[in-house]
């Protein structure tokens, strides 16, 4: 593994000395540079920021560092793990949060995650394809899109596919599929040390479509701010077991959703054609850019769109400065019937919205239009969809 370049941002010599020792003592080699080296064009792979003093100044430093080194792992270090401070740090652009002095084992785990991200960025990518569905607001439809896309991926490819429900307390992925899971995401992140193939089989529940589910937590405070590193490690482990990973990330920016966004091959931002949703989508697109995700990785999905539009799609695109990748129609009756029965749209018949999910998923699997999808799973699109694709 190539050597990492580290930068320590602090006025405290004891702080610098302590972290310099930790960086040099780990299994992964890290060379420490001076802050002026960064200004001279040497970009660090990781930055340790001392936030024990003025929080406002520290957050500004993190934002500035994130802008200048989008791919760096940024570690915030504070005296206490206050939830609001953790959230501010993550929003500013930090990947990890530690209290002073850090537990060495935990710190070196963060170094390993940073190294793994760096290798991924340089082409040593796991074979899994990770799709993250993030809502512009609560109720935008991330679960509906993630679940039905997941069912279609499993149906069309016959490859190992899992949906991860990342929403604490209110996750509904299993409910949408009529499943009663015994275990949840928390059982996975609390047992990462033993999360091999056999143990993972016990934690997931399998739908008849072939799709597997890692259910959401029933605790409202977990996964929480302190679980971001574990979530990132979980996705890395899942990438060894599955070919497709879909994530229902909800609509809140926190350390766990940031971890999911970092691992994503494609980020689907699900919005509705209304003012609150469009406003939030603007802010979220900017936030995702600050996290270092290029525009090519982000796709805007317009959900529950029906004429007359509250806001026309062209006007939404202009406001976002980003094209709408796909539009799903408003069909409350069909969607609610599928939800209440626990049967996904793909398995309920040939409704227009089911055909849209089929079409949407095929484009994900084969953007060029000539994918060798599982032939028995093919079914015809409605005449209108064949004649006038919205892609």
CATH number of the domain bearing residue 363: 3.40.50.300
In this structure, the answer to whether residues 182 and 298 fall within a common structural domain is yes
pLDDT of residue 193: 85
Cα–Cα distance, 334 to 351 (Å, whole number): 8
Cα–Cα distance, 15 to 18 (Å, whole number): 5
Domain of residue 196, residue span: 129-387
In this structure, the answer to whether residues 295 and 198 fall within a common structural domain is yes
pLDDT of residue 332: 87
In this structure, the answer to whether residues 136 and 105 fall within a common structural domain is no
In this structure, the answer to whether residues 378 and 337 fall within a common structural domain is yes
In this structure, the answer to whether residues 46 and 189 fall within a common structural domain is no
In this structure, the answer to whether residues 179 and 114 fall within a common structural domain is no
Cα–Cα distance, 102 to 186 (Å, whole number): 23
In this structure, the answer to whether residues 55 and 154 fall within a common structural domain is no
What is the residue-wise DSSP string for 108-156? Answer: HHHHHHHHHHHHHHTT---S-EEEEEEESSTTSSHHHHHHHHHHHHHHH
In this structure, the answer to whether residues 139 and 116 fall within a common structural domain is no
Based on the structure, what is the number of domains in the chain? 2
Bridge partners for 96 per DSSP: 75
In this structure, the answer to whether residues 103 and 134 fall within a common structural domain is no
The continuous run of DSSP H or E covering 271 comes out as: strand 266-271
pLDDT of residue 114: 87
CATH of the domain at 75: 3.40.50.2300
In this structure, the answer to whether residues 190 and 310 fall within a common structural domain is yes
Q: What is the DSSP letter of 100?
A: S
In this structure, the answer to whether residues 196 and 104 fall within a common structural domain is no
- Reading the chain (391 residues) residue by residue, the pLDDT tens digits are 456 889 999 999 999 999 988 887 777 778 788 766 455 566 889 999 999 988 899 999 999 999 888 889 999 999 998 888 998 998 899 989 999 999 988 898 889 888 887 776 665 555 689 999 999 999 999 999 999 999 999 999 999 999 999 999 888 999 999 999 999 999 999 998 888 889 999 999 999 999 999 999 999 989 988 888 889 889 988 988 999 999 999 998 888 998 898 888 899 999 999 999 999 999 999 888 776 655 678 999 999 998 888 899 999 999 999 999 999 999 989 998 898 889 998 888 778 899 999 999 999 998 766 444 444 344 433 333 322 222 2
Point out the domain boundary residue: 121, 153, 177.
121
For CA atoms 189, 90, 74, 269, the dihedral sign is positive
Point out the domain boundary residue: 93, 121, 149.
121
In this structure, the answer to whether residues 232 and 91 fall within a common structural domain is no
pLDDT of residue 351: 86
Q: How many residues does the chain have?
A: 391
pLDDT of residue 295: 65
pLDDT of residue 31: 79
Angle at 296 between CA 391 and CA 41, to 5 degrees: 170
Point out the domain boundary residue: 121, 146, 164.
121
What is the residue-wise DSSP string for 281-297? Answer: HHHHHHHHHHTT--GGG
Which region, left, alpha or beta, applies to residue 114 given φ > 0 means left and ψ of -120 to 50 means alpha? Answer: alpha
Contacts of 326 (CB under 8 A, 6+ apart): 299, 301, 302, 356, 360, 363, 390, 391
């Amino acid at each position: 593994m190539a050597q990492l370049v580290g930068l320590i941002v602090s006025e405290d010599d004891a702080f610098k000395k302590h972290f310099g020792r930790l960086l040099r003592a780990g299994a992964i080699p890290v060379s420490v540079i001076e802050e002026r080296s960064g200004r001279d064009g040497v970009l660090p792979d990781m930055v340790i920021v001392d936030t024990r003093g003025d929080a406002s100044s520290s957050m500004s430093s993190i934002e500035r560092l994130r802008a200048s080194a989008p791919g760096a792992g940024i570690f915030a270090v504070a005296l206490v793990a206050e939830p609001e401070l953790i959230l501010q740090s993550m929003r500013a652009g930090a990947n990890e949060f530690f209290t002073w002095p850090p537990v060495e084992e935990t710190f070196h785990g963060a170094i390993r995650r940073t190294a793994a991200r760096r290798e991924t960025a340089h082409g040593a990518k796991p074979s899994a394809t990770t799709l993250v569905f993030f809502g512009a607001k609560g109720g935008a439809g991330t679960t509906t899109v993630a679940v039905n896309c997941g069912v279609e991926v499993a149906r069309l490819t016959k490859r190992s596919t899992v949906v991860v429900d990342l929403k604490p307390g209110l996750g509904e992925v299993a409910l949408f599929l009529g499943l009663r899971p015994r275990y949840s995401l928390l059982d996975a992140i609390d047992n990462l040390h033993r999360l091999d193939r056999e143990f993972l089989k016990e934690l997931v529940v399998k739908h008849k479509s072939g799709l597997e589910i890692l259910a959401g937590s029933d605790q409202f405070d977990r996964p929480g701010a302190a679980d971001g590193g574990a979530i990132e490690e979980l996705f890395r482990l899942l990438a060894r077991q599955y070919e497709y990973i879909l994530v229902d990330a909800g609509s809140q920016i926190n350390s766990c959703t940031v971890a999911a966004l970092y691992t994503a091959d494609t980020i689907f931002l699900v919005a509705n054609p209304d003012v609150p949703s469009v406003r939030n989508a603007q802010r979220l697109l900017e936030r995702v850019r600050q996290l270092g995700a290029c525009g090519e990785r982000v796709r805007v999905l317009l959900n529950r769109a029906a004429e007359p539009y509250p806001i026309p799609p062209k006007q939404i695109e202009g406001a976002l400065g980003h094209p709408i990748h796909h539009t799903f129609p408003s069909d409350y009756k069909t969607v609610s019937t599928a939800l209440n029965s626990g049967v996904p749209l793909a398995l309920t018949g040939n409704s227009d919205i089911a055909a849209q999910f089929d079409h949407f998923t095929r484009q994900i699997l084969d953007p060029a239009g000539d994918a060798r999808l599982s032939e028995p799973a093919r079914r015809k699109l409605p005449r209108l969809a064949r004649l006038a694709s919205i892609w």
